[in-house]
A and B are shown apart, each in its own frame.
Chain A
Amino acid sequence: MDVFLQTLVAGVLKGGLYALIGLGMTLIMGVMGIINLAHGQFMMVAMYITYVLFHFFGLDPYTTLIISMPSLFLLGVLIQKYLLNPLMKVESILPENQVLMTVGIAMVLTEIARFIFSSNYLSVRTSYSSSAFYLGGISFSVALTVAFGFACFLTLSLFWFLIKTDLGRSIRAVSQDAEAAELMGIDSGRIKVVTMGIGAGLVAAAGTLLLPIYYLFPDIGGPFTRKAFIITILGGLGSTVGAIFGGLTLGLAESFGATYIGMDFEDLVGLVIFLLVLLFVPGGFKRFTKV
């Protein structure tokens, strides 16, 4: 029973972090209709920002959120404005060239990080990095619990933003029907720029929260990009609630897969679930939520 409960807790806590990663991706997916294959690399950039602030200025990793999130927002805005938006006007045979562009961006970001920081593994050690508290014999990692709480908070804020503010409503409008929104006088180009910024900012939070318990090197982005698109598809594209479900599902599937099948099957379980959902539940879990 302990094994089961501990696996459950590990899965849920990891799922919270995954949800935060998926949230940004799903937002971008909804508005742009593209899969951002540089998502994990955005996260990597945020982690480097946190590392630099911690290492050279002695800031607590959680404090660096106020710098890493806006920085990534800016990065997202610039990329969308100067690299992705222009593609809408380019005549190309391939409809997927925006996705391919994000692949190029991912490579460039990774290699720039390598230039600056070399391939060395870096980490941020804090007092809470390896501390845990225990509830009835089950251990809860402090840092992961904080990340989980923060993921919930950010999700709620995002909800509030999307539902209550004008900008949020415009984003939802573009997400539902870009052409109609355009006719209603919404500048969809500008909305896309803002959305990319928010998406990048959200994943920046995930990176910063993850860093104290994990480590960092330039190639770290790739695996998280893959996780992000799995979460996005699981959750149903463009659905914020879905992203949370997707993140939790992936976290739980990986944990239970690792415990009851084998750790080497961890990634495989996620991928197989991904393919199954893609094929048989085309809308992802959005189907069940209607948000």
Chain B
Amino acid sequence: MKRPSGPFLLLVLLLILPLILRDAYYQHLMILVLMWVAIGSGWNLISGYTGQVLFGAAAFFGFGAYTAALLSSKLGISAWWGLPLGGILSVAIAFPFGWICFRLRGPYFALATLALNEIFRHIATIWESLTDGMIGILVMQTFISKLPYYYVALAIAIFSIVTVDLVMRSRWGYYFVSIREDQDAAESMGIDTLHYKMLSLCISAFLIGIAGALYTNYMGFIDPKVVFSLHEISIMAILVGIVGGVGTIYGPLVGAFIMVAVQEIFRTGGFGILHFIGQSTGWPFMSGIIKYVSEAHVLSFGILVIVVILFLPNGIVGDWSLIRKSLVNSKKPAV
């Protein structure tokens, strides 16, 4: 067998998964995972590979989402056109933003993206005549079944992984990494750092914008607080990136899976296992535990961040060899 057998098997698995997992609830979770793969890949390109940490992924996400929603609510065009258009318009935002803000470095750039995120949220809230403000926009879903959404999301996720992979194999990828490693050195080697940072940001914004448009189509409802959310989108994007593995192709996939799984496990009390224990044993304190556990998902995110940064600074995929080594060692203590 040749090398790409791993990804190939994964692809086959993902293709047939919804046919095995008929339950709409699990399909829903898988769609969320795939959406986060796209966002995480976008984040990873600009932050993980190019080293310009994006704290405001929601700016592009929300822009894509609103593009799709406004197409349907204001122009009466199918929100599916938002997929390409949301991506393109996000690039149209990323371009001037990058042009102006890439003179900032490191944490200052990160803060500028955070500010962009907040500014968009405020504008979407205040500009009621266009966006209906916090009333939000409802787009009726095209399909009741989850399967079409699943395959669209899968296509977008594959597209984003392949895009990032192709870019990183090309000469651009080499420039991106050299900017991350040492911007001044890259500059002195004759790399036009602004140009390549812009390229990286635009591709990222494109991927994240598409994911935003997918969100609108799938969820059928958006408001500024949801799609421009600092905590739910921007920080979640960072978490997906760093938990999975900064600067790795499959990191976002692993990160997205873990983050969605962690969130749901806590929110549902271990998929109802705790409820079951509580009911079958009748222990009075179980209801208290269930309540605490269901509230703990953000706490678990926070702890996850701290643990990952302290012990697995390059994420699960990035530090896989480290994890495997420690696992193997613990199995065979004789070594």
Contacts and interface: CB of A to CB of B under 8 A. Distances in A.
B122 A108 contact: no
A279 B51 contact: no
Closest 8 CB pairs of A and B: A107-B302, A104-B305, A92-B313, A111-B299, A108-B302, A104-B306, A268-B122, A96-B53
Q: How large is the interface on A (under 10, 10 to 19, 20 to 34, 35 or more residues)?
A: 35 or more
B112 interface: yes
Contacts of A86: 310
A264 to B, nearest CB: 5
A278 interface: yes
Contacts of B125: 264
14 contacts: A92-B309, A99-B53, A100-B242, A101-B305, A101-B306, A103-B235, A107-B302, A108-B306, A268-B119, A268-B126, A271-B118, A275-B112, A275-B115, A278-B112
Contact of B313 (A91, A106, A107, A272): A91
A288 B100 CA distance: 23
A279 B112 CA distance: 9
B310 A96 contact: no
A54 to B, nearest CB: 26
A97 B315 CA distance: 12
Interface stretch (B66-74, B102-110, B253-261): B102-110
Contacts of B295: 111, 114-115
Contacts of A3: none
Interface in A59-101: 83, 86-87, 90-97, 99-101
Question: Main SS of the interface on chain A?
Answer: helix
A110 interface: yes
B299 A108 contact: yes
Contacts of B230: 222
A214 interface: no
Contacts, number: 131
Contacts of B242: 94, 97, 100
A229 interface: yes
Given A100-B238, A103-B235, A275-B112, A111 B306 contact: no
B309 A264 contact: no
Interface in B74-125: 100-101, 103-104, 106-108, 110-112, 114-116, 118-119, 122-123, 125
A279 B238 contact: no
A111 B298 contact: yes
A90 B313 contact: yes
B244 interface: no
Interface in B218-246: 230-231, 235, 238, 242, 246
A147 to B, nearest CB: 25
Contacts of B123: 268
B204 interface: no
B275 interface: no
